Amino acid sequence: MKSRGQRSGALASIFRDIALLVAIAAILAASAVWAAPDPSSIVLTGADRRPATSLHGDWAAIVDPYFSGLFSFHHQEREDGWFLNRKAKPGDTFPTEYDFSKASTLKVPADWNTQRESLFYYEGPIWYERNFTYQPREHKRVFLHVGAANYRSWFWVNGQKVCEHEGGYTSFNCEITSAIHSGNNFIVAAVDNMRREDGVPTLETDWWNYGGLTREVSLIELPETFIDQYDLHLNRAAGSVIEGWVHVDGGKIGDKVKVEIPELNAEGSSVLTAEGRAQIHLVASNLERWSPETPKLYKVKISAGQDSIDDLIGFRTIETRGTEILLNGKPIFLRGVAIHAEAPYRTGRANTDKDAETLLGWAKELGCNYVRLAHYPHDESMLRAADRMGLLVWSENPVYWALQFDNPKVLAKAGQQLDEEIGTSRNHAAIILWSMANETPNTPARTHFIESLATRARFLDSSRLITAALLEHAEGHTKIVDDPLGNVLDVIGVNEYIGWYEQRPEGADSTEWRIGYQKPLIVSEFGGGAKAGLHGGENDRWTEEYQANIYRHQLGMLNRIPQLRGMSPWILMDFRSPNRPLAGIQDEFNRKGLISDQGEKKQAFFVLQKAYKEKTIGKPE
Ligand code: GCU
């Protein structure tokens, strides 16, 4: 006869199994929602580590506000693109109206808005075309790699449609093996940055809607079976065990996969399952963990069949314990700042190593160990720089303000962007937080929508923390954070603008906070606007003195929040926004930067730098 303990033990394990089954059922049900809207492209992890043929440079460009190049006068979409077949040939009785050889050019990669005065406000479709020569090789597959195309895009190679994509901030890869031929080839892309009600993001944003092929475009040649995605991270419990998986496109059950870290004399091998995935488990004794103080990266070689890829990966653990955030098992306070992908000095979409080094260099100068990359996945060059420079990262899916949360198609789009964000960037030691959303309305449809996204994110990557930037509400002088979304988050983010959109800066002195969750809290936004070089009294809005005054009072208030574990004031650098028309002050820039777009540091920069350098903000580590 089983003892009480044995019976309850057995019961407990039955309940555990039931809970597990329920969780899996929830994930499977959720994944039914995730049918990728456009299976015509794939996600590649470490694409920037692959040898590639760059397609950068000047592309011929045709601005097509009515999209007549793709839609006929009866608004039927033409598979192969109308103009492609409408080039008049001798004797034809119709005029050629779409002719790239006569068109002016646009630079790629870049947004089109800052390239031509006439395109500064332009929202709509633009056609791109360029020729390239290529020698396809036997037993090789060729992919068109697009770092980002904002917002919807269509691609043809030699007149053959190869893929289309929706989402302006994640990379995707289109197979062009059957379309490419030796010698001269040409590629045509249509990119449409028109904002859409059912878009992600939707119609309203507080950043410039930079359109175009905004990040690198290249050709990647791969063997017939190749490593498309891989995940390698440090096991939270067993400190020197690196675990994860490698997926091989076209891989067969039993095929061998190997992971090597020569510097550590560590290697692990495994075989593919029927799904083409091999679980990886290797012991890495004397591993130096990645941290902001010691951003150690290891060369890691992953090989499978004819394919291999070398990546540079840091290994660290991140978790929570009550209201603590633990990096490598130790409590950490995230001294941060928020950053938009606005290029310093030249403005426009940031997309170069130089842009990344300038922006993150300023964050380091500020004394940061963390940055919130808002409100969409940033360029790989930014993440590589964060890995190298030792900056922890909050990465965000552009679920921003009021999406159509009750529209399953919109959920699928957000899910696809999440897949691309995590699939592409999952091995960056710098990224510790996947943010599901920013300032979304507290409605049941919204909560269900983001709960599904959070479930998916945990399914895709259980080694990181899930967060979101919530809104607060007030009762008298008490700020309350109890949005039901907090239930599905590991770390609570909250945005507040005491001293700018409400109250005077001193209002922070008498403000208390009530956080509805025993979880780590990050104040993911606070701040105020200032025109660099504009001076006056600390009560004069738009002056540097006023902004600095906001920061002084905020720092005092934040230090009184017991579970505060991080902050990312809004924002490192002024950035373009169509919502900011105040002439002579904003001039279509959001001026909440601590630094102007021309690199001028405002007084508040030094107020925050002092607090970060002297560590007078946040619980001592
Ligand atoms: C919001 C929002 C930002 C915006 C900022 C502002 O909180 O998240 O995208 O730019 O406030 O108003 O400046």
Residue 65 is which amino acid? P
Q: Does residue 440's CB lie within 6 angstroms of at least one atom of ligand 1?
A: no
Please classify residue 254 by burial: count the beta carbons closer than 10 Å to its beta carbon, then call 0-12 exposed, 13-18 middle and 19+ buried.
exposed
Taking the centre of ligand 1 as the mean of its atom positions, its distance from the CA of residue 211, in whole angstroms, is 21
Residue 581 is which amino acid? P
Taking the centre of ligand 1 as the mean of its atom positions, its distance from the CA of residue 437, in whole angstroms, is 13
Candidates 204, 206, 550, 568: which one to mutate for ligand 1, based on the most atoms within 8 Å of Cβ? Answer: 206
Q: Does residue 472's CB lie within 6 angstroms of at least one atom of ligand 1?
A: no
The pLDDT score that the predictor gives to residue 192 is: 98
* Token pair listed for 572: 């490192």
Beta strands in 140-199 (DSSP E): 140-146, 152-157, 160-166, 172-175, 183-192
The span from the CA of 203 to the CA of 92, in Å, is: 43
The span from the CA of 519 to the CA of 230, in Å, is: 30
Taking the centre of ligand 1 as the mean of its atom positions, its distance from the CA of residue 372, in whole angstroms, is 13
Whether the model pTM is above 0.85: yes
* Token pair listed for 275: 């799904």
Q: Does residue 495's CB lie within 6 angstroms of at least one atom of ligand 1?
A: yes
Structure letter (DSSP) for residue 601: B
Q: Does residue 590's CB lie within 6 angstroms of at least one atom of ligand 1?
A: yes
Q: Does residue 575's CB lie within 6 angstroms of at least one atom of ligand 1?
A: no
Beta strands in 207-263 (DSSP E): 217-223, 226-234, 241-249, 256-261
Q: Which atom of ligand 1 is nearest to the CA of 529?
A: 13
Taking the centre of ligand 1 as the mean of its atom positions, its distance from the CA of residue 121, in whole angstroms, is 21
The pLDDT score that the predictor gives to residue 81 is: 55
The residue nearest atom 6 of ligand 1, judged by CA position, is 206
Q: Does residue 525's CB lie within 6 angstroms of at least one atom of ligand 1?
A: yes
Q: Does residue 439's CB lie within 6 angstroms of at least one atom of ligand 1?
A: yes
Candidates 403, 525, 571, 580: which one to mutate for ligand 1, based on the most atoms within 8 Å of Cβ? Answer: 525
The pLDDT score that the predictor gives to residue 74 is: 80
The pLDDT score that the predictor gives to residue 98 is: 79
pLDDT < 70: residue spans in the chain:
1-39, 78-88, 619-621
Q: Does residue 270's CB lie within 6 angstroms of at least one atom of ligand 1?
A: no
Residue 37 is which amino acid? P
Report the DSSP beta bridge partners of residue 331. 326
Q: Does residue 206's CB lie within 6 angstroms of at least one atom of ligand 1?
A: yes
The pLDDT score that the predictor gives to residue 99 is: 86
